[in-house]
């Protein structure tokens, strides 16, 4: 098999922002909105990194470099479609309508970050690698059984494709023809392990062949290509053609998390080479070259993004603290007897001055 021929990477604008494909179906206004979101999310991500270094939030998983994949996918969905993401998919959730201060609260350990607004059809972010892939299949299968016109989309990294959950999910979805779209964000590194060492397949997309489902590769740094591809894929999945696996080829610009140091394992020349086509700079080059936006527009968008993120930080840091005993909440609908006893003991300890709020 020749992956480049059977699973070519779809692209509309190249690393330099030059139009190399068909841009039909995407308006100038949509591109402006995409750019505004990409800049806002990048600003949030960089600010979160700084906040962690200042000791104002806990461990944080940056998503810089993967914004185009997440925004482009969600933009192609219907409002009632399900979104199942991992700890690195806050860009997708924010674009779907989750408040921008949620990622910050999440890294502060605040339980409210798991309380997804009713207006957003999404599950809380999943920390267990690949577990959300199974959840998406369950939601999609349920929608099919109930005759609902909904698809489920799940995001995961290249490392997650080596988990058993990934293969179990694709197999079940294929057998049941569940309306689910699997979006693999191939950012080249599973923490410190390059993709060449954690799988022997030349592409992630070709794994679709084993499960007899559609497989597609797209340039994950090209938001136009991502948006167009997901529109097409979602239409086929929604029409009952079965699930699909989309490999978005992208690059993780920074560390795996704030606890990671990529300079210890990632070649500097690789970072310089692959970061050139990152999504924010790429779209900016295209918008400028096409005369859709000018330098004054870019400055205004930068300023607005900074103000928006400043407000999100202010909201997160002033958010009411939660009681420590909330650790017993939101796990079971009805608390088990052992947990009830543990909660009672915890409350007693707090009353005696041995507990705290945080």
197 labelled catalytic: no
* Cα Rg, the chain, nearest whole Å: 21
217, 256, 282, 286: which is the annotated catalytic residue?
A: 256
Angle between helices 67-75 and 279-289 (to 10 degrees): 70
What's the chain's length in residues?
358
| Through-space distance between the first and last CA atoms of the chain, rounded to whole angstroms | 55
53, 265, 273, 300: which is the annotated catalytic residue?
A: 265
Closest CA to 153 of 119, 104, 175, 120: 120
C-alpha to C-alpha distance for 27 and 204, rounded to whole angstroms: 31
From residue 17, alpha-carbon distances to 20, 53, 64, 226 in Å are: 9, 33, 18, 15
265 labelled catalytic: yes
252 labelled catalytic: yes
11, 42, 150, 252: which is the annotated catalytic residue?
A: 252
Determine whether 38 is exposed, middle or buried from the number of CB atoms within 10 Å of its CB (0-12, 13-18, 19+): buried
242: region left, alpha or beta (phi > 0 left; psi from -120 to 50 alpha): left
Q: Looking at the annotation, which residues are catalytic?
A: 252, 256, 265
């Amino acid at each position: 098999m020749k992956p480049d021929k059977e699973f070519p990477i779809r692209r509309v604008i190249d690393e330099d922002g030059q139009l190399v494909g068909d841009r039909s179906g995407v308006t100038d206004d949509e591109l402006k909105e995409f750019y505004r979101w990409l800049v806002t999310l990048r600003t949030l991500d960089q600010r979160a990194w700084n906040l962690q270094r200042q000791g104002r939030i806990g461990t944080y998983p940056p998503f810089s470099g993967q914004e185009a994949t997440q925004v482009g996918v969600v933009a192609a969905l219907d409002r009632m479609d399900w979104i199942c993401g991992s700890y690195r998919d806050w860009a997708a959730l924010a674009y779907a309508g989750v408040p921008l201060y949620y990622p910050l609260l999440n890294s502060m350990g605040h339980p409210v970050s798991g309380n997804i607004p009713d207006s957003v059809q999404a599950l809380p972010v999943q920390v267990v690698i690949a577990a959300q892939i199974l959840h998406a299949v369950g939601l999609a299968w349920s929608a099919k059984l109930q005759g609902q016109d909904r698809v489920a989309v799940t995001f995961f990294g290249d490392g997650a494709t080596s988990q058993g959950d990934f293969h179990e999910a694709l197999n079940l979805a294929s057998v049941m023809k569940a309306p689910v779209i699997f979006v693999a964000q191939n950012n080249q590194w599973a923490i410190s392990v390059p993709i060449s060492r954690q799988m022997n397949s030349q592409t992630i997309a070709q794994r679709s062949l084993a499960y007899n489902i559609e497989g597609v590769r797209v340039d994950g740094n090209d938001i136009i290509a991502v948006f167009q591809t997901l529109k097409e894929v979602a239409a086929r999945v929604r029409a009952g053609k079965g699930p699909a696996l989309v490999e978005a080829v992208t690059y993780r610009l920074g560390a795996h998390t704030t606890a990671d140091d990529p300079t210890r394992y990632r070649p500097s020349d690789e970072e310089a080479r692959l970061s050139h086509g990152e999504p924010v700079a790429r779209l900016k080059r295209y918008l400028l070259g096409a005369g859709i936006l000018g330098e004054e527009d870019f400055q205004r968008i930068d300023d607005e993004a900074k103000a928006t993120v400043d407000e999100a930080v202010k909201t997160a840091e002033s958010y009411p603290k939660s009681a420590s005993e909330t650790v017993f909440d939101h796990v079971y609908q009805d608390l088990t007897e052992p947990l009830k006893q543990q909660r009672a003991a915890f409350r007693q300890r707090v009353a005696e001055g041995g507990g705290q709020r945080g």
